[in-house]
Amino acid sequence: MTSSHRTRRPVDLQEAVAILERTPAALDAMLRGLPDGWIQAHEGGETWSPFDVIGHLIHGEQTDWLARVRIILEHGEARPFDKFDRLAQFADSPARSLDALLEEFAALRRANLRDLAALQLGPADLARTGTHPAFGRVTLGQLLATWVAHDLDHVVQISRVIARQYSDEVGPWRAYLRVISGQQG
């Protein structure tokens, strides 16, 4: 096995879905029942709390990922994707409970993955193209890879927001904790 075999993978529908189908349960296990101080924590200014992130993931399931897959399949490059509202969760979810948001995210993701499976995409479909409103031409494979990486980006964000609440409390160990020091590998 070469090194590059373990540092880069080509997009594969089954491997991508394996990540996507696990994200709701992983976030549920991390967050359900946590004290409110963790759920509402953020990194200052307009940064997001774990609560805000789950609202954002819900909005993505409702309006972004699978909708864009369908636009590519139905319209190719002729119809650009709708823009995604990255702040929609602040209008949609302020009065809801975290438990309700976690359940909604899980239900929407399940339904979207069922619909994705029903499209019976084959490897050749991953090369089909659409038009991103800012980037121009993108492929269905890039969209799927981004759906996966976007999930993980927000798992990182939630973990970082919580860990950084202890930025001072860890004392000298700060030097060993990349999540707090911000040092990149």
From 59, 68, 63, select the one nearest 143 (Cα to Cα): 68
Closest C-alpha to 155, from 22, 9, 11: 22
Q: Which of residues 126-145 bind a second copy (CB under 8 A)?
A: 132, 135-136, 138-139, 141-142, 145
Residue 102 engages a second copy in binding (rule: CB under 8 A): no
Q: Which residue has the tokens 């707090």?
A: 180
Please say which residue, 62 or 129, places its beta carbon nearer to a second copy.
129
Q: How far is CA 47 from CA 30, 50, 51, 76, 170, in A?
A: 20, 10, 11, 35, 22
Q: How far is the CB of 40 from a second copy (least distance, A)?
A: 6
Question: In degrees rounded to 5, what are phi and psi of residue 10?
Answer: -70, 150
- Fill in the per-residue mask, 25 to 54: x = in contact with a second copy (CB under 8 A), - = not in contact: xx-xxxx-xxx-xx-xxxxxx-x-x-----
User: Distance (Å, rounded) from C-alpha 4 to C-alpha 18?
Assistant: 21
Regarding 180 and contact with a second copy (CB under 8 A), the answer is yes
153 binds a second copy (CB under 8 A): yes
Q: Establish if 11 lies at the interface with a second copy (CB under 8 A).
A: yes
Measured in degrees and rounded to the nearest 5, phi and psi for residue 134 equal -105, -40
Size of interface with a second copy, in residues (CB under 8 A): 70
Nearest to 154 by CA among 75, 40, 72, 49: 49
Interface with a second copy, residue 18, by CB under 8 A:
yes
> Where on the chain is the footprint of a second copy (CB under 8 A)?
3, 6-11, 14-15, 18-19, 22, 25-26, 28-31, 33-35, 37-38, 40-45, 47, 49, 132, 135-136, 138-139, 141-142, 145-146, 148-150, 152-153, 155-157, 159-160, 162-173, 176-180, 182, 184-185
